Amino acid sequence: MRYLRKLRLMLRAAVRRPQVECEMQAELAAHLDSETRDLMARGVPAVDARRRAAATMGRLDLIQEECRDARGVAAWEHLKQDMVFGVRLLLKYRTYSSMALLTMALGIGSTTAVFSVVDGVLIRPLPFADPDRLFHATDLNLRGHFDSVRDWSRLADYAGHLGVRAFNTRGRDWPERIQGSEVSANFFRVLGIAPMIGRDFAPSAERPGAQHTVILSHAFWEQRYAAGRDVLGRQLLLDDVPFEIIGVMPAGFGYPAPEANFWIPMRLDARAIGDYWGASAVSTFARLRAGVTPQAARAELRAFTPRVHAMFPWRMPDSWGLDLTLTGMHEDLVHDARVRSLLLLGVVALVLLIAIVNVANLMIGQTAARQSELTLRVWLGATPGRLARQLLTESLLLALCGGLLGVLLAFGQLELLKHWLPADTPRLAEVTIDLRILAFAAVLSLGSGLLFGLLPAWRARFRQSSHGTEDLRATMGRSGRRTGAALVMSESAFATILLVGAGLLLHSFWTLLHVDVGFRVESVITAELSPSRAVAASLDKTVALFEQIRSKLAAYPGVQNVAAMNRLPLGPDISATTMAIEDHPLPPQAGQFVLWTTAVTPESLDTLAIRVLQGRGFTAADRKGAAPVVLISRSTANRFWPATSPLGKRIRPVWQGEWSTVVGVVDDVKSYSITGPPDWVDGEFYVPLAQAAFSPSTLALVARVGGVPGEFQKSLPRLVRDVCGTCAVNKVELMKTEVSQAVATPRSLAWLVGGFALLALGLAAAGIYGVVSHGVLRRTRELGVRLALGASPGSVAWLVAGTSLRYLLAGALGGLAVSWVLVRFIRSLLFGVGGHDWISFALPPLVLMVVALLASLLPMLRASRIDPARSLREG
């Protein structure tokens, strides 16, 4: 309350200044008047009385000034003066101000842009009602399990989705592929969001025989239906099945992924046993009911496990389903994006720190250049506090202008970031620069201004207290050198940390790029083929269709091999089967064997140059009805039959009675990821497409082409459509492109951090240049003496740079020590590179030294060319 009052008085003093001034004068006049009257009443003559009254009063102008001080008017006045003066300074010293502003803008801009990403990804709550009560149920992904738990639970409402996948729909000329998500009927209700127009799914929509209904995303509705209100009741053809449009979601809703154009009910059919109990497809989440703790919900979930266990059509291991757990939905969504975003935030924070050090350095140089002005001020009676306040005001002004520029820059940088950040960064589309981010930028700018302004301001006081009138240069020398050393050391430490980080990520990326994927990458073209549902539903028809396409494509000049697989190696789809393996009975506690599964046509191994190490590859004779056969990978053979030949051994999917015989062993291939198979996989096998357990809904075509593949790549869709008018053809790519997609995330991270490290290096170089050239300026007279006494120009130049380089090295060593500790935070992002990789630790100091030497060249040259006679005369 008191502060409010005080502020009101201060504001009144500042805003209604004329009135306040007038009142003050009236008050003092009234006093004089009363005093005069009093004296006259005591018999003093009128002329004398007025003079004596004035004498008791003292100097009126001084009193008025003190009254203004007491009311806090002076603070406003000084602030205004300092601001005006600061603006004039910025305008006068253009080089200095543009350097400082640019540096600040880069620092604030980068930090603001990255912070907006961190805010959007990590901080902002999920856009659902009561997001804190939403939990992801890990490992609850069988339809049968999900269906039962949802039915039984009393503590939480469970819902699920099958992720996002593509469907065929009718395009203008050819079938198109559009992405959508299959969800449980209660999906939207549990998330707490309702269609903007139309209605939600009926509870029975997921049961067999239900009417096919679809809900559109807002963006898809606008783009495909021109946001027409009459869309309800119309039909959308998905994989040749008509779906009735019953609703449109509000704008911005894009769960489970922003690519989802529509949602259809997932199928829950207890009679389709393989699908219902064998396919790990559902991502399940739960909304806890009021007052239920996550612990209670988890306990309930685990308590259901024995009941579900008993429902399985085949025996599950005893350990199955015991470690089910619930994680916060936000946390689950963010998972490894957390480390990445925080890493980037740390990186830009370091860039900002370097920027602040640079500006502090610039300001110190500037104050040194303004020495005569500052000395004059001291002579004229400026108090140390007043001088420090002026310098601080100037730096805050600089910081605010820099921050303003930085925010403008941040808008551009955010667009670049959205483009460059790994595409799998969750919620990236939601990231914007809003008022909160702007407030963050303002606080950041002011904080930076304080940081880089305090140093020169403190030094101004310091100099003052040791008497401004003495030889200023003498006091400047010592403290100037000390400050310069501190600046160089901190700058080089920050830059070193960044360079080490960038080095580790780039080295790791380099290693990833040079991993042998184990299959042919050059001159291979791939395409995604999606036949109509009528074909895709039948394995025979799919195989027959492929035969037709194969003969058509193989006739094209230069095409050597054409093959098809259920998925591309390194592709995004998961293809794993729970298998029983002969001679390997499972102990009751053990988990099932899960084998990575690839269905291939016989030509595939040749096309992709996957070597057959033992036995034989597939032939055309391995068709449906023939004896079922499989190939296994070398590491699978080593794992299950290390001592004996695996040929003739048998494996089968757990839900299938018929065994398949191992007829060959092929070399290991990076199927799942460049970094190797996931830890939940026990091995890998190949099955002839004609004998596959399921008919794949899409086929990956792979063709090996001699010569220039570009022509064939362009013609491929047309060639396929000549054979199959109802097939959608997508993603016609070079295998090289597909493989490079697999390292997209580490690549973008390495480039981003590398880019920021480069920026930091540039800033550090500018800073070191500043310190060294300032040093030359400061020591002109000393260097002149040295030259006059016979020092060689080279040794003088070295003297100038040598000191800075020593501090630089000290700073770099400090940076290395800090990096050594910090490395553990990014270890999860590294592949094939130890956290304490010696190259990444040895290179940064070297790079920094070279860059610093380059930055020092010009001032060194200047030092060696000092004219002793002139420097002594002028100094």
Q: What is the C-alpha radius of gyration for the chain, rounded to an integer number of angstroms?
A: 38
CB of 11 to other proteins, least distance (A): 12
Q: Which is nearer to other proteins, 76 or 152 (CB)?
A: 76
Helix runs in 42-118, H state only: 46-57, 60-71, 73-92, 94-118
What are 529's strand-pairing partners? 699, 729
Tell me the C-alpha distance between 362 and 94, whole Å: 13
Q: Is there a contact between 58 and 67 (Cβ–Cβ < 8 Å)?
A: no
Q: Which is nearer to other proteins, 5 or 229 (CB)?
A: 5
Q: Is there a contact between 579 and 595 (Cβ–Cβ < 8 Å)?
A: yes
- Residue 258 CB-density burial (10 A; 0-12 exposed, 13-18 middle, 19+ buried): middle
Q: Which is nearer to other proteins, 2 or 271 (CB)?
A: 2
Instruction: Tell me which H or E stretch contains 161.
Output: strand 156-170
| Size of interface with other proteins, in residues (CB under 8 A) | 29
The CA–CA distances, whole Å, from 624 to 95, 602, 693 equal 79, 13, 11
Q: Which is nearer to other proteins, 31 or 88 (CB)?
A: 31
The CA–CA distances, whole Å, from 84 to 90, 360, 445, 464, 575 equal 10, 21, 20, 23, 69
Provide the mask over 58-87, with x wherever binding to other proteins is found by CB under 8 A and - wherever it is not: xxx-xx--xx-xxxx---------------
Segment interacting with other proteins, rule: CB under 8 A, options 4-12, 183-191, 694-702, 739-747: 4-12
Q: Which is nearer to other proteins, 10 or 202 (CB)?
A: 10
Our finding on whether 2 is near other proteins (CB under 8 A) is: yes
Our finding on whether 383 is near other proteins (CB under 8 A) is: no
CB of 80 to other proteins, least distance (A): 19
Please report, as a single letter, which amino acid is at residue 315.
R
Residue environment code for 546-556, b if the CB has 16+ CB neighbours within 10 A, otherwise e: beebbebbeee
Segment interacting with other proteins, rule: CB under 8 A, options 53-61, 722-730, 779-787, 835-843: 53-61
Tell me the C-alpha distance between 702 and 704, whole Å: 7
CB of 813 to other proteins, least distance (A): 50
Q: Which is nearer to other proteins, 63 or 443 (CB)?
A: 63
Tell me the C-alpha distance between 243 and 211, whole Å: 8
φ, ψ for residue 761, nearest 5 deg: -65, -45
Q: Which is nearer to other proteins, 27 or 711 (CB)?
A: 27
What are the structure tokens assigned to 49, written together?
């009385």
Q: Which is nearer to other proteins, 37 or 335 (CB)?
A: 37
CB of 35 to other proteins, least distance (A): 6
Q: Is there a contact between 786 and 506 (Cβ–Cβ < 8 Å)?
A: no
What are the structure tokens assigned to 194, written together?
């309702």
Segment interacting with other proteins, rule: CB under 8 A, options 1-9, 205-213, 358-366, 498-506: 1-9
Our finding on whether 9 is near other proteins (CB under 8 A) is: yes
Our finding on whether 172 is near other proteins (CB under 8 A) is: no
CB of 377 to other proteins, least distance (A): 20
CB of 1 to other proteins, least distance (A): 9
> Which residues, including other chains, have CB under 8 Å from residue 140's CB and lie 6 or more apart?
146, 149, 158, 282, 284, 301, 324
* Of the candidate residues 6, 199, 307, 335, the single one contacting other proteins (CB under 8 A): 6
Instruction: Tell me which H or E stretch contains 638.
Output: helix 634-640
CB of 71 to other proteins, least distance (A): 5
Q: Which is nearer to other proteins, 252 or 385 (CB)?
A: 385
CB of 72 to other proteins, least distance (A): 6
Helix (H, G, I), strand (E, B) or coil at 471: coil
What are the structure tokens assigned to 680, written together?
């939940």
Our finding on whether 534 is near other proteins (CB under 8 A) is: no
Q: Which is nearer to other proteins, 24 or 210 (CB)?
A: 24
Instruction: Tell me which H or E stretch contains 731.
Output: strand 728-734
Helix runs in 421-526, H state only: 435-465, 472-513
CB of 52 to other proteins, least distance (A): 11
CB of 15 to other proteins, least distance (A): 15
Segment interacting with other proteins, rule: CB under 8 A, options 21-29, 238-246, 657-665, 812-820: 21-29
CB of 41 to other proteins, least distance (A): 12
CB of 382 to other proteins, least distance (A): 16
Q: Which is nearer to other proteins, 5 or 478 (CB)?
A: 5
Tell me the C-alpha distance between 50 and 36, whole Å: 5
Q: Which is nearer to other proteins, 77 or 332 (CB)?
A: 77
CB of 49 to other proteins, least distance (A): 14
CA 307, chain centre distance (Å): 43
Our finding on whether 57 is near other proteins (CB under 8 A) is: yes
Q: Which is nearer to other proteins, 67 or 155 (CB)?
A: 67
Q: Which is nearer to other proteins, 15 or 63 (CB)?
A: 63
Tell me the C-alpha distance between 576 and 553, whole Å: 30
- Within residues 628-657, the interface with other proteins by CB under 8 A covers none
Q: Which is nearer to other proteins, 28 or 849 (CB)?
A: 28
Segment interacting with other proteins, rule: CB under 8 A, options 51-59, 241-249, 366-374, 511-519: 51-59
Segment interacting with other proteins, rule: CB under 8 A, options 3-11, 216-224, 398-406, 731-739: 3-11
CB of 376 to other proteins, least distance (A): 22
Tell me the C-alpha distance between 487 and 485, whole Å: 5
The CA–CA distances, whole Å, from 501 to 370, 424, 686, 693, 747 equal 40, 22, 40, 47, 14
Segment interacting with other proteins, rule: CB under 8 A, options 5-13, 139-147, 669-677, 806-814: 5-13
CB of 62 to other proteins, least distance (A): 6
Provide the mask over 23-42, with x wherever binding to other proteins is found by CB under 8 A and - wherever it is not: xx-xxx-xx-xxx--x----
Segment interacting with other proteins, rule: CB under 8 A, options 20-28, 104-112, 268-276, 449-457: 20-28
Tell me the C-alpha distance between 699 and 717, whole Å: 14
Q: Which is nearer to other proteins, 23 or 540 (CB)?
A: 23
- Within residues 391-430, the interface with other proteins by CB under 8 A covers none
Helix (H, G, I), strand (E, B) or coil at 678: coil
Closest CA to 764 of 845, 652, 697, 665: 845
CB of 5 to other proteins, least distance (A): 5
Q: Which is nearer to other proteins, 38 or 573 (CB)?
A: 38
Whether residue 256 has a cis bond before it, omega within 30° of 0: yes
Instruction: Tell me which H or E stretch contains 614.
Output: strand 612-615
Q: Which is nearer to other proteins, 56 or 319 (CB)?
A: 56
Please report, as a single letter, which amino acid is at residue 825.
F
Which parts of 249-349 are beta strand (E)?
262-265, 283-288, 325-328
Q: Is there a contact between 358 and 451 (Cβ–Cβ < 8 Å)?
A: no
Our finding on whether 15 is near other proteins (CB under 8 A) is: no
Tell me the C-alpha distance between 175 and 725, whole Å: 8
- Within residues 424-453, the interface with other proteins by CB under 8 A covers none
CA 531, chain centre distance (Å): 37
CB of 65 to other proteins, least distance (A): 9
CB of 19 to other proteins, least distance (A): 11
Helix (H, G, I), strand (E, B) or coil at 841: helix
Tell me the C-alpha distance between 594 and 280, whole Å: 11
Binding site for other proteins (CB under 8 A): 2, 5-6, 9-10, 23-24, 26-28, 30-31, 33-35, 38, 56-60, 62-63, 66-67, 69-72
